[in-house]
Amino acid sequence: MFPYIVRRIFVMIFMLTLLSIVTFLLFNAVPTDPARLTCGKSCTPEIIAANRIRLGLDQPLLTQYLDWMKGIFVGRTYGTGSAAFECSKPCLGYSFRSGEEVTKLIVDAIPVTMYLASGAFILWMVVGISAGIVAAKHQGKWQDRTIMGISLVGYSLPVFFIGLLFLVFAIVRWNILPYPDYESPFDDPLAFFQTMLLPWVTLAILYSAYYARLTRSQILEIMGEDYIRTARAKGLPDRVVFRKHAFRAGLTPIVTSAGLDLAGLLGGAVITEYIFSLPGLGRVAIGAVTDYDLPTITAAVLVAAVFVIVANLIVDILYVAIDPRVRMT
């Protein structure tokens, strides 16, 4: 396994490097002048030229990219002379729109997104897999039809619709919960839970519906395999056959989907964060897009890609623990 992990790490580094090049070139190809965006309405050509030098935009594109990559590992200096200032490592750029280092913006936003993604993940995995198991064990019966009907409705509803329903009825009309005002779980656990409950449920409704259907289909497919019939013919109890053979073998596609879905949410649950006013990574990215804050956009895309690529590596490693038939080559 160790050689496989080493190879995958090298591939991951190559993919991240390639992605950083594409992302950097893509956002620098936008037909806007970042130097012009850093000053207000009273900009003059002299101020724009000074800002361009301060941002390093007067350098060739390759030099700009190398300086940006260098800043991630050792930090970098913006500007020259008395106007120079340091951006400490890992420096993902400097947002002149907000007057802060991009790294600080990302670091402040990531915990919120992680709390949102992890809470919703636990909720949808427990509910979705449990519902899928119940539906598979009662195939064709009322339990199966009810669960699949509910999951179909849940999977059909878009996130923004579910979120707005919760916001309008649970908060505005019925006053069950206070209006979302994010607090750290270490400062005010109760306020944190009240703020995060509806976003968790909003995401869990969509994803648990999908995982209920996925779990049911996988279990029913595995239960028809020859080795399952052999295990039953040997006299093993149904619960043992299900737990040790059927469920474990059916986990592989579930783990794949779960890892990628969680990684995608860690990159920013944009709609949910925006509806419930959560200062997460998705909301930071949306704000950067609307403000043409190119350094922040580039950093947000890169961080989201890191989550997805690392999740792929973790999922591949988990395959061996879940299904011994899988061999890493």
Identify the DSSP state of 279: -
Contact 322, 248 (CB under 8 A): yes
Residue 97 located in a structural domain: no
Q: Quick one: 220 and 86 in the same domain?
A: no
Residues 6+ apart with CB under 8 A from 283: 109, 268, 270, 273, 274
Contact 280, 113 (CB under 8 A): yes
pLDDT grade for 118, boundaries at 50, 70 and 90: very high
Q: What's the confidence (pLDDT) of residue 320?
A: 67
Residue 120 located in a structural domain: yes
What are the beta bridge partners of residue 101? 94
Residue 7 located in a structural domain: no
Q: Quick one: 226 and 152 in the same domain?
A: yes
Q: Quick one: 154 and 69 in the same domain?
A: no
Q: Is 77 or 152 the better-scoring residue by pLDDT? A: 152
Q: Residue 313: give its domain's CATH number.
A: 1.10.3720.10
Residue 24 located in a structural domain: no
Q: What's the confidence (pLDDT) of residue 212?
A: 92
Strands 85-87 and 76-78: antiparallel
Residue 200 located in a structural domain: yes
Distance from C-alpha of 287 to C-alpha of 268, rounded to nearest angstrom? 12
Q: Quick one: 279 and 203 in the same domain?
A: yes
Residue 4 located in a structural domain: no
pLDDT exceeds 80 at position 298: yes
User: In this prediction, what percent of the chain has a pLDDT beyond 90?
Assistant: 13
Q: Count how many domains the chain has.
A: 2
Contact 91, 71 (CB under 8 A): yes
Distance from C-alpha of 61 to C-alpha of 161, rounded to nearest angstrom? 43
Distance from C-alpha of 115 to C-alpha of 73, rounded to nearest angstrom? 27
Q: What's the confidence (pLDDT) of residue 201?
A: 93
How many CB atoms are located within 10 Å of the residue 189 CB?
11
Query: Hey, is 26 helix, strand or coil?
Result: helix
pTM recorded for the entire structure: 0.84
Domain boundary among 91, 112, 130: 91
Distance from C-alpha of 289 to C-alpha of 242, rounded to nearest angstrom? 49
Written as six digits, the tokens of 128 are 């979705």
| CA 67 to each of CA 37, 62, 175, 196: distance values in angstroms, whole numbers, following the listed order | 21, 9, 51, 39
Distance from C-alpha of 114 to C-alpha of 76, rounded to nearest angstrom? 28
End-to-end CA distance of the chain: 8
Measured in degrees and rounded to the nearest 5, phi and psi for residue 97 equal -70, -40
For the ranges 32-36, 105-109, 219-223, 322-326, the lowest mean pLDDT is seen at 322-326
Written as six digits, the tokens of 24 are 């950097």
Q: Quick one: 192 and 317 in the same domain?
A: yes
Written as six digits, the tokens of 70 are 């260098």
How many CB atoms are located within 10 Å of the residue 304 CB?
20
pLDDT grade for 171, boundaries at 50, 70 and 90: confident
Residue 251 located in a structural domain: yes
pLDDT grade for 329, boundaries at 50, 70 and 90: low
pLDDT exceeds 70 at position 323: no
pLDDT exceeds 70 at position 1: no
Q: Quick one: 280 and 306 in the same domain?
A: yes
Q: Quick one: 75 and 200 in the same domain?
A: no
Q: Quick one: 85 and 122 in the same domain?
A: no
Q: Quick one: 78 and 197 in the same domain?
A: no
Q: Quick one: 149 and 205 in the same domain?
A: yes
Residue 21 located in a structural domain: no
pLDDT exceeds 60 at position 166: yes
Q: Quick one: 53 and 173 in the same domain?
A: no
Written as six digits, the tokens of 177 are 């919960």
Q: Quick one: 140 and 200 in the same domain?
A: yes
Supply the range of the domain harboring residue 168. 104-322
